Chain A
Amino acid sequence: MRLRIAEITVLSPGIRKFTLEPLAGLLPAAGAGAHLVFDIPGATRVHKNAYSLIGGPQARTQYEIIVRRVEPSRGGSAWLHEHARIGDILEAKTPQNLFPLAHLAKKHLLLSAGIGITPFLAFARVMRTPFEWHHCSRAEDSAAFAALLPPGPQVTLHTSRNTLNLAAVLGTQPLGTHLYVCGPELFNETVQTMARALGWPESKIHTESFASAAGGAPFIVHLARSGQRLEVAADQTLLEAIEAAGIAAPYLCRGGACGACELPLLQGTPEHRDHVLSPEQRAANKSLMVCVSRARTPDLVLDF
C-alpha cells in the first residue's frame, strides 16, 4: 500500500516522528504492537525497514512511526532523516502484528529502552489491565521520550543505568503478569536472562527487536534451484541480497522473530541470529532465517 508523508516532527537530533496518511480511504486497523515494513529508497538498492505503529487500532486516518537515525545507518533511517520530505510517497506492506498483548494477563510489565518505546506507546493506548512501564533512555533523548510517555504513576523514565533495579522489578510481580521487552539487543538479553533466572516461564516473556539485521563479514550464497551465486555484502542481509537479485523470498518481520523467511540449507554453517530456531534445530543445520542470519563458512548453499 502507498502512504504519503503528512508531517515530520523532530523529537530530538536523532529521533523523528513521521505521520503517514493514505492516498485515499481509510487505513487498515493495526492492533497494538503491529509494525509496517517500508520500502525506503537507497543509493544502490531499496531498504526494507520495519517500524512499529504507535497509534493503536483506532488510528485509521493516519499512521505514526518514530525513527531513530541508526549510526552507522545502512541507509534506511538515514534516508528518512535526511531526504524524506512532506508529500513523499512510501510503499509499505500491510501492517503485521507479531507483538500482541496477552489477553489473559492480569498485569502487563513493559520494559523498554531507547527507540524500543514505540510498540508500547500503542500498548498504552489500549491498556485496560493494570500495567507497569519502565523506559530507559540516554540522557540526550530523555526530554523527547518524557514528552511521548503517558502520564501516571505506573510509568517511570530512567535516564541513568542505576535507577532501574531489574531484579527488584522482575522479582516482585504478581502471578499472571506478562513481561514485554523491547530495546537494543543487549537490553533485551539482559532483561530476559534476569527474568529466566527469577523463574519467569517462556510463555510470559514477549520480546521484539528490529535491530538484529546488522551486518557482518561478507559471504557467498548459492541458490541451488536457480543456480545463482550471490555475494552478500557486509552491510547487507542475506534476504536483501536475494531480493537484490530480483528473487522474491518469503518474509514478514525481517527481524528474526516470526519464522516466515526460513529457507532450507544444503551446505555450509550459518551464524544464526534469529529468535525462532531452538538449539536442537540449530544443531541440525537444516535451515536458517535469511532475514537476520549470516554465515560462519565462506559459502552457504540454500535449497531455494
Chain B
Amino acid sequence: MNKSRPIYAPFQFDPSGARHLLVTDQPDPPADLNTNVQTLTARTHTADAILAFLPPHLATQTTGLRLYAIGSEAFVWDVNAIALAAGMGAGEVHLTRAGPLIRRVYCTHCQTMADDVATTITQCPGCGATLEVRDHFSRHHRAFMGVQVDAEAPGEIPAPEGFRS
C-alpha cells in the first residue's frame, strides 16, 4: 500500500457544521443531498470558475462552515489548498474522489504539470520525456510524480494502461 496515496471517505453530510458548501467538477451532486447544502456543480460552473469563486467567497465566511469537494484528485486538492489558505482545517473540509480515473502529473525532470492524464505512460508536454506515472501522490504539488520510464534502458517502454485507482 502506497502511503503517499490519500484515502478518501465516501461522501457523507457532516451534521456538526452550521453551514455547508459543496463543490464538484462532476455534473451532479450526490443523490439525496441535504437541502441546506449550497452546491456548485459542473453543470453550471467549470472547475476553473469554481476555483476562482472560492477564495473571495471564503474570505467572507464565518467559522461553522463545512466545505465538501468531490471530483478528480487534482480538483479536490486544489479546493483543499484554497480552503487551507482561507484558514479552514481538520474537520472542516471533506474531500471525495469521483469521476474518471485521471491524474495530474508532475514531471520530475522539467517540473511541468499535465492535467487529465488517463494512462500509466504519458508524454510530458514540457520536455517531451516519456513518463511513467507513479502511484506517488505529492500533496505539496497536488499531483502524481511522473518519471522518465526509459532512463536506464533507452527505448524500453512498457505498454500504457489505464489507472486502477
Q: B61 an interface residue at 8 Å Cβ cutoff?
A: yes
Instruction: Please choose the segment from A57-65, A72-80, A169-177 that sits at the chain B interface, where 4 or more of its residues have CB less than 8 A away.
Output: A169-177
Residues of B within 8 A of A177 (CB): 63, 87
Residues of A within 8 A of B90 (CB): 201, 203
Partner of A175, one of B16, B17, B18, B87: B87
Partner of A200, one of B19, B59, B64, B87: B64
* Complex CA–CA separation, A62 to B145 (angstroms): 53
Hey, what's the 0/1 contact readout for A256-284 against B, CB within 8 Å counting as 1?
A: 00000000000000000000000000000
Residue of A nearest to B60 (CB): A174
Q: A2 an interface residue at 8 Å Cβ cutoff?
A: no
Residues of A within 8 A of B65 (CB): 175, 199
Name the interface size band of chain B.
10 to 19
* Complex CA–CA separation, A147 to B64 (angstroms): 34
**Nearest Cβ distance between residue A111 and chain B, in whole angstroms?**
13
* Complex CA–CA separation, A157 to B65 (angstroms): 29
* Complex CA–CA separation, A41 to B127 (angstroms): 74
Residues of A within 8 A of B64 (CB): 171, 198-200
Residues of B within 8 A of A201 (CB): 16, 89-92
Residues of B within 8 A of A173 (CB): 62-63
Q: B88 an interface residue at 8 Å Cβ cutoff?
A: yes
* Complex CA–CA separation, A236 to B62 (angstroms): 44
Residue of A nearest to B65 (CB): A175
* Complex CA–CA separation, A280 to B21 (angstroms): 31
**Nearest Cβ distance between residue A242 and chain B, in whole angstroms?**
36
Using known A-B contacts A198-B18, A199-B16, A199-B63, determine if residue A176 contacts B91 with beta carbons closer than 8 Å: no
**Nearest Cβ distance between residue A138 and chain B, in whole angstroms?**
29
Q: A204 an interface residue at 8 Å Cβ cutoff?
A: yes
Partner of B63, one of A104, A202, A204: A204
Contact B88 A199 (CB under 8 A): no
Hey, what's the 0/1 contact readout for B77-95 against A, CB within 8 Å counting as 1?
A: 0000000001111111000
Using known A-B contacts A199-B16, A199-B18, A199-B19, determine if residue A175 contacts B61 with beta carbons closer than 8 Å: yes
Determine the main DSSP class of A at the interface with B: loop
Using known A-B contacts A198-B18, A199-B19, A201-B92, determine if residue A106 contacts B87 with beta carbons closer than 8 Å: yes
Residues of A within 8 A of B89 (CB): 104, 201, 203-204
Contact A202 B91 (CB under 8 A): yes
Chain A stretch 166-222: residues in CB contact (< 8 A) with chain B: 170-177, 196, 198-204
Contact A176 B87 (CB under 8 A): yes
Q: Which of A175, A177, A203 has the most CB of B within 10 A?
A: A175
Q: A233 an interface residue at 8 Å Cβ cutoff?
A: no
Q: A15 an interface residue at 8 Å Cβ cutoff?
A: no
Using known A-B contacts A173-B63, A175-B58, A200-B63, determine if residue A105 contacts B87 with beta carbons closer than 8 Å: yes
Using known A-B contacts A203-B89, A203-B91, determine if residue A171 contacts B16 with beta carbons closer than 8 Å: no
Residue of A nearest to B17 (CB): A199
Residues of B within 8 A of A204 (CB): 63, 89
Q: B66 an interface residue at 8 Å Cβ cutoff?
A: yes
Residue of A nearest to B61 (CB): A175
Residues of A within 8 A of B88 (CB): 175-176
Hey, what's the 0/1 contact readout for B3-16 against A, CB within 8 Å counting as 1?
A: 00000000000001
Residue of B nearest to A170 (CB): B63
- Interface residues of chain A, those whose CB is within 8 Å of chain B, are 104-107, 170-177, 196, 198-204
- Interface residues of chain B, those whose CB is within 8 Å of chain A, are 16-19, 58-59, 61-66, 86-92
